[in-house]
Amino acid sequence: MKKDAYARAGVDMTKVKALQSSIASVLDSTFSLRRGLFGEPLMKIGHYAGLIDIGHGDALALHTDGVGTKVLVAIQMGKFDTIGIDCIAMTANDLICVGAEPVALLDYIALEREDSRLVSELTKGLVAGARQAGASIVGGETAIMGNIEGFDLVSMGVGLVKKKMILDGSSIVEGDRVIGVASSGIHSNGYTLARKVLLAKRSVEDWVDELGETVGEAMLRPTSIYVRPALEVIRRREVHGIAHVTGGAFTKLARLVSGRKLGFALENRSPSAIFSLIQREGGLSKKEMYSTFNMGVGLCLFAPKSEEPSIIKTFRRSGFEAFDCGVVERGSGVRIGGTRISR
């Protein structure tokens, strides 16, 4: 069987998912250590965030994530003041997917060598991201690792949610509308493939008329942070689930209804210019694109049709473009404009 483009670029998502599953199956065995005690786990590993019971009807959500090979674009650009936003976004956006309000963050910076200017620029982005997420950065770790290329950046976040308000996808039903919220670009996933395609014959400084900016500027555009409007929607509207479109792109939607006879029929919207460029120059199929990139949709919310207008209005009021993106249907997997992305 021929590998898809992402696997040929160096990231085989089938193997990654198998690896993640094997890790989770081992780590799940630790859940018994807190059974019946403060901090008892409430959800199996594999959702957007882990959840533990902290009593009084409250749960603590925890998540950690990094920026991946987007850091290599920042290094090529010599621009480091926004990559911290991406780092916070990857953690904070996942926390809201379980209905949690991000309250505190930690950062981990790994450096090739001591570099005060680099750290200063990285922390600017971390602070900017924290302000957007409404969460304090309360500590972290800086490590010097001479064998790494440049630097790496990771964040860990903690969120708070009432147990009765946890979003795990179990409330999603047939007929729910899928509301999409626009991304700002590639965000922080798929960069191994994006770099291979976009930088094969050009540098980050090259201007691309189709993009209206240099390829580096388009690739380094910070990830959107959806926390504030998402929390407003969760508190005021009936929402059955939220999905952050990250690694695995739209294939991840299926895990929200795992074990149930439900699937997603999404509209075939015109992708942002950056994705059209990647698809054309990489000779990539529609399935490969929608399995790797967000294609202009950074967040999906699942809610009754009656709630859709208000949800869209709330996000637009906060400066995000939101739109009807499809419907939950009887069946399985994810279909986009008739093309099956996952089963």
Beta bridge partners of 153: 109
pLDDT tens per residue, range 219-274: 999 999 999 999 999 999 899 999 999 988 999 898 899 888 999 999 888 888 99
- Rounded Cα–Cα distance for residues 328 and 330 (Å): 7
CB 153 within 8 A of CB 117: no
pLDDT at residue 3 in the model? 61
Give backbone dihedrals phi and psi of 190, rounded to 5 degrees, phi first.
85, 15
pLDDT band for position 88 (50/70/90)? very high
pLDDT above 90 for 27 = no
Beta bridge partners of 110: 143, 152
pLDDT at residue 269 in the model? 84
pLDDT band for position 25 (50/70/90)? confident
- Average pLDDT score, the chain: 92
- Rounded Cα–Cα distance for residues 277 and 48 (Å): 30
Average pLDDT over residues 35-59: 93
> Both tokens of residue 89?
């976004």
pLDDT band for position 44 (50/70/90)? confident
pLDDT above 80 for 202 = yes
- Rounded Cα–Cα distance for residues 311 and 242 (Å): 12
pLDDT band for position 45 (50/70/90)? confident
pLDDT, greater one: 3 or 198: 198
- Domain annotation for the chain: domains and CATH numbers: 5-165 (3.30.1330.10), 177-342 (3.90.650.10)
Residues near 75 by beta carbon (within 8 Å), at least 6 away in sequence: 149, 150, 151
pLDDT at residue 1 in the model? 36
Pairs from 200-208 (Cβ < 8 Å, separation ≥ 24): 200/281, 203/76, 204/73, 204/76, 204/77, 208/277
- Rounded Cα–Cα distance for residues 133 and 227 (Å): 6
